[in-house]
């Protein structure tokens, strides 16, 4: 290994959003509000699903797990990005960088699998309504959650086990707002050609395959609903619309990033923010604003809280 001046990199420099101080303050306030709303919104969904007896159904159980993964995914990147906006020197240690990449791919892989489970839930609810409770049993739901976490763990370990021991001895500048695996690999002092394409095959194909499976499942549901009596298609569209929006927002930036993973371009940072900051915020908004049952449950819990406070 050819070390430059015998030096070994111990930290990386994140370029983040560079610009005038006023612009940095604007980004700081905007992203702080975004992250706060993400945590508040997803926590509200988890609390409502847990304590509202009217939401103890398979769909809301999966939705509560999705909110937890969204909040975790955002927490991996957003707090560091927000604090860096106030720092002149935006650095992260190598092990801090590795930890961030590990949990990003862990929660990201788990969420992809969970979205497929949610699509299956909607398929059973629309196409096999009489057998819904029998098929979507507690055992199956637990299996879906375990499978999603297992998929996330296997997905991230398959990449990090090959990345964590890479030697870094030269450039240490990452042109992004967080430690992006493809960009970090490019900084290694050894030939990473094979590893680069393994990352594409692992992350890129996983994202693309899950996205295609979800689109196929939605198409099957819509075709089945169209063949049913009047009103079946409109009801299916109403039910699936929120899921389709969430899937598109989640997989769109992810797939786009891995189509051009090793080239730094201006939109890369915007996509990174959208994937880890905006999408986890939009999910609770989409599911809450379009779901009268969720709104009713939240209102009921708020009323019960007010009554219990007055009695106390």
> pLDDT, tens digit, for every residue of 37-68?
999 999 999 999 998 888 888 989 999 999 99
Indicate if the pLDDT at residue 261 is higher than 70.
no
Identify the residue with better confidence: 34 or 230. 34
Chain-centre distance of CA 128, in angstroms? 29
Instruction: Find where tokens 């009713």 sit.
Output: 296
pLDDT tens by residue, 154-204: 999 999 998 998 888 878 888 888 888 888 998 888 888 888 888 878 887
pLDDT band at 4 (very low <50, low <70, confident <90, very high): very low
Residue 5 is predicted with a pLDDT of 45
**Residue 3 in this model has a pLDDT that exceeds 60:** no
Q: What is the pLDDT of residues 100-140, one digit of tens each?
A: 999 999 999 999 999 999 989 988 988 888 899 999 999 99
State yes or no: pLDDT of 309 exceeds 80.
Answer: no
Residue 16 has pLDDT above 60, yes or no: yes
pLDDT score for 15: 83
Mean pLDDT for the chain? 83
100 contacts 76 by C-beta, under 8 angstroms: yes
What residues does 13 pair with on adjacent strands?
91, 173
Residue 276, classified by CB atoms within 10 Å of its CB into exposed (0-12), middle (13-18) or buried (19+), is: buried
- More confident: 263 or 45: 45
Strand 11-14's sheet: what is its strand order? 91-93, 11-14, 173-174
Write out pLDDT tens, residues 204-213. Answer: 788 888 888 8
Structure tokens belonging to residue 109: 């892989």
Q: What is the pLDDT of residue 28?
A: 92
Task: State both tokens at 21.
Answer: 């101080």
Per-residue pLDDT tens digits for 287-305: 776 677 887 887 887 777 6
Positive or negative, the CA dihedral 153, 156, 158, 163 is negative
pLDDT in tens, 71-108: 999 999 999 999 988 887 889 999 999 999 999 999 99
Which pLDDT belongs to residue 311? 62
Work out the number of other CB atoms within 10 angstroms of the CB of residue 189. Answer: 17
- How far CA 184 is from CA of 46, 138, 148, 199, 267, in Å, comes to 34, 41, 26, 12, 18
Name the pairing type of β-strands 91-93 and 11-14. Answer: antiparallel
Please state, in angstroms and as integers, the Cα–Cα distance from residue 62 to each residue in 109, 145, 290, following that order: 15, 8, 17
């Amino acid at each position: 290994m050819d070390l430059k001046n015998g030096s070994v990199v111990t930290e990386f420099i994140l370029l983040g959003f560079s610009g005038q101080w006023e612009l940095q303050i604007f980004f700081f306030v905007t992203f702080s509000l975004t992250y706060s709303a993400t945590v508040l919104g997803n926590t509200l969904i988890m609390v409502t699903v847990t304590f509202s007896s009217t939401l103890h159904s398979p769909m809301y159980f999966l939705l509560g797990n999705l909110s937890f993964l969204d909040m975790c995914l955002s927490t991996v990147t957003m707090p560091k990005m927000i604090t860096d906006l106030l720092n002149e020197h935006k650095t992260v240690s190598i092990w801090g960088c590795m930890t961030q990449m590990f949990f990003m791919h862990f929660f990201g892989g788990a969420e992809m699998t969970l979205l497929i489970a949610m699509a299956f839930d909607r398929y059973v609810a629309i196409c096999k309504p009489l057998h819904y409770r029998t098929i979507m049993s507690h055992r199956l739901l637990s299996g879906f959650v375990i499978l999603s976490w297992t998929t996330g763990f296997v997905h991230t370990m398959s990449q990090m086990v090959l990345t964590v021991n890479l030697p870094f001895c030269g450039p240490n500048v990452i042109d992004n707002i967080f430690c992006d695996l493809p960009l970090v690999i490019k900084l290694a002092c050894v030939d990473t050609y094979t590893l680069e394409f393994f990352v594409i095959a692992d992350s890129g194909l996983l994202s693309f395959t899950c996205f295609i499976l979800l689109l196929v499942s939605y198409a099957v549901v819509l075709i089945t609903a169209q063949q049913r009596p009047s009103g079946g298609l409109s009801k299916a569209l109403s039910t699936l619309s929120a899921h389709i929006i969430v899937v598109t927002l989640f997989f769109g930036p992810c797939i786009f990033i891995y189509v051009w993973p090793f080239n730094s371009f201006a939109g890369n940072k915007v996509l990174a923010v959208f994937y880890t900051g905006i999408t986890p915020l939009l999910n609770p908004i989409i599911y809450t604003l379009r779901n009268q049952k969720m709104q009713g449950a939240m209102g009921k819990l708020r009323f019960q809280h007010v009554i219990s406070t007055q009695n106390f």
